[in-house]
Structure 1
Amino acid sequence: MAEPVLAPDAPFHIVSNAGSGSKDAHEARQQIEAILSTARRPHEFILIENPGQLQSVAKKAADAATRSGGAVVVAGGDGTINAVMQAVLPARRPFGIIPQGTFNYSSRAHGIPLDTAEAAQSLLTARLEPVQVGMVNDRVFLVNASLGLYPELLQDREEYKRQYGRRRSVALWSGLRTLLREHRHWAVEVEYEQGAERLRTPSIFIGNNVLQLEQVGLEEAEDVKRRGRLAAVIVEPVGTSELLWLAARGMLGQLGEDERVRNFSFHSMTVRVVNRVGRRGVKVAVDGELFWCPPPLTFQVAPQPLMLLVPTSKPGQ
């Protein structure tokens, strides 16, 4: 199947969260509207009124882009981007991002400006770039997927953000509080290209974002970037103080040097959980959002890339 192309006057179908931050979200839409209207670029906003509508709104945007020959654009963070990508990837439509999240790994890894107005402006002259997508069972991800400790961190982080606001300082403080608790160790069987083995671990992390992997000091970032693979990080059974030390090493960009961490790259890996799991399955974090997945969990590179709209030049150039 031929890769999608985008005409200079193709419409943008913009998915935006109507309830996110209210005032900030409204101001962001006004900025985007002003820039696209001034450029006379056809566009429409498709608003998410509540989180339960996200999948249906994403499908509506993908269908509209297919009919019009346009692109789907997400004004949101990594979690919203992921949810909309679920609908856009099978439709094979061009995909744009106007970052509105806390960490914005998807945007930063591809040179998309973090400023709303600059990101909207960059869409007008953007080029299409195929971007690797990861999968866990039938869920796709751009940044990462994990089970064990990381989903706990995310769940606690969202609770703290509801109470204290969506700031990086709140996310970091929440992460520290989570690490100080006692954690479950998972008994799993891991099978990938190099063979199969049984092990115990508090956390399995699968990375697909080169920027994030480089920041924590994993040489597998190069395999993700150059060889079309995913990166696995499996932590050996450790206590609370050791988890805190590993977190510190990650912040210092030295995680890959620690002997208590196993890291390798792969194209496809299956994780079979030996522990008893509930009827809903295993809690998995995918690009910052939590889902229940039935085991076994198969992590792999998706058969087709996402056609991402990226700036013709990096910010500041």
Structure 2
Amino acid sequence: MVYIHFIVNPISGSGKHNIGKTELEKHFPKETYKIAVDYSNYKKHAIILTQNAISNNPDCIVVCGGDGTINEVASCLINTKIKLGIIPVGSGNGLASNLNIPKSLDKATEIIRKGNTQFIDVGKVNDHYFFSNVGVGIDATIIKKYESYSKRTLFSYVRASIASSIQFNPMETILSFNNHIVNTNAFMIFISNSNEMGYGMSLTPKASLNDGLLDLVVISKLNLFDKLILGMRVISNKIEKFEKARHTLIEKINIEMPKKIFVDTQIDGEFHNLRTNKIEVTIIKSGLEVLTE
């Protein structure tokens, strides 16, 4: 008997999915599977549900949600023997896309039933974990504005990006990585574990989830014309043609913003205000076991 614990975010993807216990029982017959289903009702609720589920020692915990809900659940499973499963029903679904997990409920549940797994790396930013990416600078401003909109769609993301680009002021930043110290007025500091941000867009198309490295993209202060070019390159997935984006592979980076007290970040597509002006980002190699094709 395989014990699977599902954690469902009922409002992921604008709440248009119908995933619940009745639907899931159609894909996981009672003769073979024991299933339990919990519903996440507010931010960080999935963390509490996962911690409770872990005490029952399931074979795997499956997230039915987007990157934010996945982050809350997966953060509790690092270096445990419990596998993470994903049924992607969020807006962006960047991590699921990188793992080739389809949005189709039939196909996603088939992957879970097959039980094939791989270990992926995990990023850590201060006391928070990330599985797709973390961003400082305009990236965080975009997510903050994006979360203020009533609908999380690609149009909302583009709208937030344009508004943020106009309003955002680059900040003095000191970066320490690979035995280098870089002083810059940072427009964007983007650190990625996966090859997709969501909505099919990427700043790090060659990133790997299990190479033991994080992909760092640093973009310093830009003029209006360069901002327009950057936006076009991101949307068309041709960031490698934007010469002002500096790309480096790292295992660790320290970020300090001496003129700030607190630092806005986005972590796996969710806005966070870190109560410090110093950030350390590191990697946990093969820290999470995930059900994949």
Q: Which runs of 5+ in 1 are unaligned?
A: 1-8, 312-317
Whole-Å separation in 2 of the counterparts to 1:192 and 1:242? 26
Q: Which runs of 5+ in 2 are unaligned?
A: none
Whole-Å separation in 2 of the counterparts to 1:105 and 1:90? 22
Instruction: In structure 1, give the amino acid aligned to 2:126.
Output: N
Q: Deviations over 1:11-48 (max 9, x none)?
A: 111111245578634x1224323211366411100111
Whole-Å separation in 1 of the counterparts to 2:15 and 2:134? 31
Aligned residue for 2:110, secondary structure, equals helix
Instruction: In structure 2, give the amino acid aligned to 1:173.
Output: R
Question: TM-score, with normalisation over the residues of structure 1?
Answer: 0.83
Out of 44, 48, 59, which is 2:40 matched to?
Answer: 48
Aligned residue for 2:135, secondary structure, equals strand
Which of the two has greater helix per residue?
1
Instruction: In structure 1, give the amino acid aligned to 2:164.
Output: T
1:283 corresponds to: 264
Instruction: In structure 2, give the amino acid aligned to 1:46.
Output: D
Aligned length: 290
Instruction: In structure 1, give the amino acid aligned to 2:231.
Output: A
Contact 2:121/2:210, CA 8 A, preserved across alignment: no
2:182 corresponds to: 197
> In the superposition, relative to structure 1, how do residues 22 and 102 fare at CA in structure 2: closer, same or farther (>3 Å)?
closer
Instruction: In structure 2, give the amino acid aligned to 1:275.
Output: K
Work out whether 1:28 is the aligned partner of 2:14.
Answer: no
1:6 corresponds to: none
Instruction: In structure 2, give the amino acid aligned to 1:15.
Output: I
Out of 109, 117, 120, which is 2:109 matched to?
Answer: 120
> In the superposition, relative to structure 1, how do residues 114 and 291 fare at CA in structure 2: closer, same or farther (>3 Å)?
same
1:300 corresponds to: 282
Contact 1:134/1:299, CA 8 A, preserved across alignment: yes
Question: TM-score, with normalisation over the residues of structure 2?
Answer: 0.90
> In the superposition, relative to structure 1, how do residues 276 and 107 fare at CA in structure 2: closer, same or farther (>3 Å)?
closer
> In the superposition, relative to structure 1, how do residues 193 and 100 fare at CA in structure 2: closer, same or farther (>3 Å)?
same
Percent identical across equivalent pairs?
Answer: 19
Aligned residue for 1:231, secondary structure, equals strand
Whole-Å separation in 1 of the counterparts to 2:176 and 2:209? 23
Contact 1:216/1:252, CA 8 A, preserved across alignment: no
Contact 1:133/1:306, CA 8 A, preserved across alignment: yes
Q: Deviations over 1:57-91 (max 9, x none)?
A: 22112333xx34x1111000011100111111143
Instruction: In structure 1, give the amino acid aligned to 2:28.
Output: L
Contact 1:32/1:117, CA 8 A, preserved across alignment: no
Whole-Å separation in 2 of the counterparts to 1:194 and 1:173? 38
1:97 corresponds to: 86
- Counterparts in 2 of 1:206-225, with a 5 A limit? 206-212=191-197, 216=202, 218=204, 221=206, 224=208
1:147 corresponds to: 136
Whole-Å separation in 1 of the counterparts to 2:116 and 2:46? 27
